[in-house]
A and B are shown apart, each in its own frame.
Chain A
């Protein structure tokens, strides 16, 4: 005797599988949950981009027999002379750094922002020879507190004999006398 109970099971199976597929499609397609753990991935990429850019800026492009000055060394040195020099340093750093980090294949540029500081050992504080001071080198956007920046740093050696011209030591900077090692710190974020 032939009965038709199997048909009901088959129809139910097909319907159930459709429902499951549809649910999966909705769940996966509707939203991507950006967990705090995932931010590590973009942090890692940002950190790499930032340090690469700083390293490129701190590599001398044309050395002569008497001097070998990288662009970053020149900018840091320039930043401590006068207000005009600081302004020029800001412009130079801003142009080069943004050019390096925001360039992408194709016409759309990336949207990274930064603030850059210089930290030095404060030589003027005789009572506490290991204290540090810092000042702002350049920035293209203020940190408001909602960003999630990564920090990249680059050591820079400044002062003679890297610089052939006699250096007029800056006004009240904590990093005379030269040569000195200072740390350029950049906070970098994407929005």
Chain B
């Protein structure tokens, strides 16, 4: 390298290093916002509270029908069932079904489907 200056090589290399580190920092910053969002979105999308809630009211009504003291009649039970199915569809946009498949002990088959999440359970009274 007779008499030629090699300063430019340093400048070019430092330029690379700086731009790469900037790129890396931007990537970190970008990902950090997405992390919270995707977590919260998937929690919101999953109808945990809806399933808990509709399941408990179904079980309550089945227990009322099979109560040893002062049970409700079959027509009253069917009215509650109709309430739950109608209101679930119109207010919660979910198709729910449940039926008693055995009475002593109570076996209750529970179905929930809101188009994204479907949940099926056979509940047995303790």
Contact = CB atoms under 8 A, between A and B. Distances in A.
Contacts of A162: 64
A76 interface: no
Interface of B: 10, 33-34, 36-37, 39-41, 43-44, 49-50, 52-54, 56-57, 60-61, 64, 67, 69-72, 76, 79-80, 82-84, 86-87, 90-92
Given A44-B40, A121-B86, A180 B79 contact: yes
A155 B56 contact: yes
B44 A180 contact: no
Interface string A29-47: 0000001011011011001
Given A152-B49, A155-B54, A179-B72, A41 B64 contact: no
Contact of B87 (A35, A119, A179): A119
Given A38-B33, A157-B57, A179-B80, A120 B41 contact: no
Contacts of B41: 40
A119 B89 CA distance: 12
Interface in A40-88: 40-41, 43-44, 47-48, 51, 55, 66
Nearest to A44: B40
A153 B91 contact: yes
Given A51-B49, A155-B56, A157-B57, A185 B91 contact: yes
Given A155-B54, A155-B84, A181-B57, A44 B70 contact: no
